[in-house]
Structure 1
Amino acid sequence: MKGWHTHKDAVDRLLESYRRIAPSDRIRLAKKTSNLFRPRQSSDSPGLDVSGLDGVIAIDIEARTADVQGMCTYERLVDETLSHGLIPYVVPQLRTITLGGAVTGLGIESTSFRNGLPHESVLEMDILTGSGEIVTATPDGEHADLFDAFPNSYGSLGYATRLRIRLEKVPDFVALRHVQVVDAAAAVRAIKLIAETGEWRGERVDGLDGTAFSPDGIYLTLARFTDVEQPVSDFTGQQIFYRSIAERETDALTMHDYLWRWDTDWFWCSGAFGAQNRWVRRIWPRRLRRSDVYHRLVGLDEKIGLSRLLDRIKKVPGRERVIQDVEVPIGRLPEFLEWFDAEVGMRPVWLCPLRTTRAWPVYPLATGETYVNVGFWGTVEVPAGSPTGAVNRRIEDFVHDLGGHKSLYSEAFYDQKTFDQMYGGEVLAAVRRRYDPEGRLSTLYEKAVRNS
């Protein structure tokens, strides 16, 4: 662990790097890696030095809390907390997502149906504001306005240097049950029952997500945390987790492997790199079977253009990247999936129920209502000369019509008026006036839509 003295030194370096940025330059992170899937403009500005803000400061085992630096990855965080039999309330699916990134950018996972989103277990945050101050924001303190608006602000209100979060006591094993349902309407009924009771047929459910392979091939994966020692599967080797869902009714994993079950094959996206081919998999080192490696391969392909070359050879007229997570009210899930099959035609898709515990103005979901996050990641063929983002724009419009929202880690195409209505534009503007009066940080619209 870092310790408080080391943390203070890192914050001092951060503040010094802020002072070195010219007043006319935008404030941004000097960060080489990212889990974002939208382009960002390059800058000659040196950026904020966050190199020392990547660890756990302290863990209070009795209080079940942890003080964590903003750039600490969940991989590192879980390594520290799990040694004490504790985990964060919500652990996003990919190892290299940072705690600060998940809080300001809305992470999600299978415990979200009972624990909400990562920011809902935050007790307090130290935030570097656009004006260069470090303020401590809490739900009911002097800076409660910043605390409330920070989730989903994607750095437009500042950057978290320290977060104190609640931790959950967990056992060593997770028992899984993959339940097939006949269609989306049946999935809705099952999710509603589990969200309301926390049980399925008399058995406690601690984690809940789903995989929709086809309209009648939908599986809900129910996780029960348990102390019962039992044989466990290993999906870091030749086996592939998402394929196992339709192949076996029950399974078991260690808690560690359950948390990272999706990371090894980046859900199912590793297949694009041949990593699911049994011959390739045998020679692909385990340490390189992880989401950040695949993410770098995507970036490399964008630079060298191999996919574009293959498309020309195959005479593909055009291709659009469709990488999105959207939240729709649970009752509208069948309608969305039917439309999605007809208009986009991408399967599998990931289903992750969530319920928020309170109102958050920049991502205004109804408190206590169940939503389903639908995740889909890939590309689709489009006619030659199609407008930029045509498929993504249709998805945005339909999700909006259903009363849902989309996460902003990927490309967005909203006009500013619609965007401000959906993502708390008035609240963001008021908070920016207080904490960034000179406009040193890009606005949320500039970041999410204009990619600045």
Structure 2
Amino acid sequence: MLPKAIKSRLIKWLEDHRELVVLLFCLPASFIFTMLMKIRANMGRSSRKSNSHESAVREIQKKVQAWNKLPTNRRRLLCTSRPNWLSLSTTFFQKHLHHQVPIPLYEILELNEKAMTVRVEPMVTIGDITEYLIPRGYSLAVTIELVDATLGGLAFGTGMSTHSHKAGLYHETITSYEVVLGDGSLVTATKDNEYADLYKALAWSHGSLGFLVALTLKIVKIKPYIKIRYIPVQGQKEYCDMLRDLSGANEKEPEEFPDYIEGTIFSKDEAVIMVGEYSDNNPYIPINECSKWYKPWFYKHVETILSEGEITELIPLRDYLLRHNRAIFWVVEDMLSFGNNPIFRFLFGWLLPPKPAFLKFTTTPGIRAYTFTKQVFQDIVLPIKELEKQIEVATELFDKYPLLVYPCKIIDHGPMSGQLKRPDAKYLVPGTNYAMYNDLGVYGVPGKVKKNKPYNPVIAMRKMEEFTRNVGGYSFLYADIFMTRKEFESMFDLSLYEVVRKKYNAEGAFPHLYDKVKPEIDVFAIGEENAISG
């Protein structure tokens, strides 16, 4: 063990030289880690037996059943043994206080082309599934842009893509969940079987109802390219109206809507809207392999459209789906200020992005406090009719651009249908049972921090959460939340969730949803202590 004084100096050095740590440790370690994981996956696939999934699930059941036999005073609540640093969540759930169960399930189990579904184990990643499906002519209906996101993590959390104005949130594309419950039993939940109530509650449950051991997802037929049109728009009302019109927020005409829609807002009055359609090759349209290591980061490429004007290009499908991966949208710029430099991209761009796993691995308590007080990582689902107000509030509180906007269909499934509150009737698209919402993505260092102006993250985020509750929106729960339990229960509908917890033996076996997603640190104390006073 290092002496305390040396350890403190080392931690202080790591905190003061974060950019150097990312460059010299996180990037090489990420690359080595990726290679090792690929080798491991290939070796595992070549040696697996046909019944290995069933055998692995039985082992998980045995571990849960053994936990049930422990004396009551020795039964700590259950969670997976996956290290916190492998999770994409910004929080560090206190697993050391829980009974940890390994979930070593990493395989793609079945492609059903007739049913247009794929059955997978929960630890399969976006990187894995795009490599598997795209050469076969398919894609998930909703594909998140980060290669390390796991399909199981997204199933119990959530996600959306630029196809979500048609497909809805990620959980709308799940046809079945296979879950080990708190008593060790294995059940398959679908929207039509005897476990339909469990099926509705598993989305947004964050592992607080059971252990996911497999899931089945909808897939869609694809073409090799996305023909993407970049439209620069001046004026807030103009780009907000265009996003609403293109996504179908005002009327039901789905056959006329583009396959993919994305908005990147670079200032209050400037945005680039991208619309994409599946396409074959076209010799008259230039091809942009935008995910190549030497290419400009995607959002930087998009930003040039503001001055150069509208263009159309073809992007290979996998490049398009993972277009934000190298720069983690625009977060990497705050970690490596020179990351988009052409020389750096050409020589070292192949090392990007730094793995979120290794960024978390090097996160000391001091860095965690720094991240909390001086950076913002939030995805918020809000009614697109309130888009102007969203931008106004986010600008006032964070002064951070670009802002990400993905239109997304939120379906009204009726009462007792899960943690998402039903959309207000005033937001419903006429003649449908859904409303058009959008993801508002706010990532990076707030402008107030960069300008050394007063910034209190607690006040800012609580105001953002209050606005979100007032318009019937929802915070993505991978990020830090700043709500009391009462406020959390006002944002989400836990009526079905609480019934399901008792009915399926989650009560006393798994942490409650609020306890699972709330920050492990005292956000109020740290926020007040570290608030920037100018």
Change (3 A) 1:295 1:234: farther
Pairing of 1:88-237 with structure 2 (within 5 A): 88-196=140-248, 205-230=258-283, 231-235=286-290, 236-237=292-293
Q: What residue number does 2:437 align with?
A: 371
Report the residue type matching 1:258 in the other structure.
Y
Aligned partners of 1:123 and 1:57: how far apart in 2?
A: 15
Residue by residue over 1:235-254, the C-alpha shift from the partner in whole angstroms, topping out at 9 and shown as x without a partner, is 32222211111324222211
Q: What residue number does 1:255 align with?
A: 317
Aligned partners of 1:325 and 1:307: how far apart in 2?
A: 20
Q: Is the 8 A contact 1:269 1:377 kept in 2?
A: yes
Aligned partners of 2:163 and 2:511: how far apart in 1?
A: 32
Deviation at 1:333, TM superposition (A): 0.9
Candidates 388, 406, 410, aligned match of 1:352? 406
Aligned partners of 1:55 and 1:84: how far apart in 2?
A: 17
TM-score after normalising by structure 1: 0.89
Residue by residue over 1:55-96, the C-alpha shift from the partner in whole angstroms, topping out at 9 and shown as x without a partner, is 210101232211111121121112211121011110011111
Aligned partners of 1:203 and 1:387: how far apart in 2?
A: 45
Q: What residue number does 1:330 align with?
A: 384
Q: Is the 8 A contact 1:101 1:154 kept in 2?
A: yes
Q: What residue number does 1:389 align with?
A: 458
Candidates 103, 107, 116, aligned match of 1:64? 116
Rg (Cα) greater in structure: 2
Pairing of 1:396-435 with structure 2 (within 5 A): 396-435=465-504
Indicate the SS of the match to 1:103.
helix
Report the residue type matching 1:128 in the other structure.
V
Residue by residue over 1:273-302, the C-alpha shift from the partner in whole angstroms, topping out at 9 and shown as x without a partner, is 32223333233251x313x61552354254
Q: What residue number does 2:61 align with?
A: 15
Change (3 A) 1:19 1:323: same
Q: Is the 8 A contact 1:108 1:118 kept in 2?
A: yes
Residue by residue over 1:262-282, the C-alpha shift from the partner in whole angstroms, topping out at 9 and shown as x without a partner, is 111101111123222333323
Q: Is the 8 A contact 2:236 2:270 kept in 1?
A: no
Q: Is the 8 A contact 1:199 1:205 kept in 2?
A: no
Residue by residue over 1:350-387, the C-alpha shift from the partner in whole angstroms, topping out at 9 and shown as x without a partner, is 00000034424201242411111100112335699987
Q: Is the 8 A contact 1:65 1:165 kept in 2?
A: yes
Q: Is the 8 A contact 1:13 1:49 kept in 2?
A: no
Deviation at 1:188, TM superposition (A): 2.8
Consecutive unaligned residues of structure 1, counting only runs of 5 or more, are 312-317
Aligned partners of 1:6 and 1:184: how far apart in 2?
A: 55
Indicate the SS of the match to 1:410.
coil
Deviation at 1:172, TM superposition (A): 0.4
Pairing of 1:8-87 with structure 2 (within 5 A): 8-21=54-67, 24-32=75-83, 33-43=86-96, 45=98, 47-51=100-104, 53-87=105-139
Aligned partners of 2:297 and 2:184: how far apart in 1?
A: 46
Does 1:6 find its partner at 2:75? Answer: no
Consecutive unaligned residues of structure 2, counting only runs of 5 or more, are 1-44, 306-310, 424-432, 522-534
Report the residue type matching 2:410 in the other structure.
T
Q: What residue number does 1:314 align with?
A: none
Q: Is the 8 A contact 1:420 1:426 kept in 2?
A: no
* More moved, 412-421 vs 53-62: 412-421
Change (3 A) 1:102 1:305: closer
Aligned partners of 2:418 and 2:95: how far apart in 1?
A: 30
Q: Is the 8 A contact 1:126 1:163 kept in 2?
A: yes
Q: Is the 8 A contact 1:325 1:373 kept in 2?
A: yes
Change (3 A) 1:193 1:307: same
Q: Is the 8 A contact 1:100 1:159 kept in 2?
A: no
Q: Is the 8 A contact 1:131 1:438 kept in 2?
A: no
Q: What residue number does 1:315 align with?
A: none
Deviation at 1:128, TM superposition (A): 1.6
Deviation at 1:421, TM superposition (A): 2.7
Structure with greater proportional helix content: 2
Deviation at 1:113, TM superposition (A): 0.4
Report the residue type matching 1:424 in the other structure.
D
Report the residue type matching 1:409 in the other structure.
Y
Deviation at 1:406, TM superposition (A): 1.1
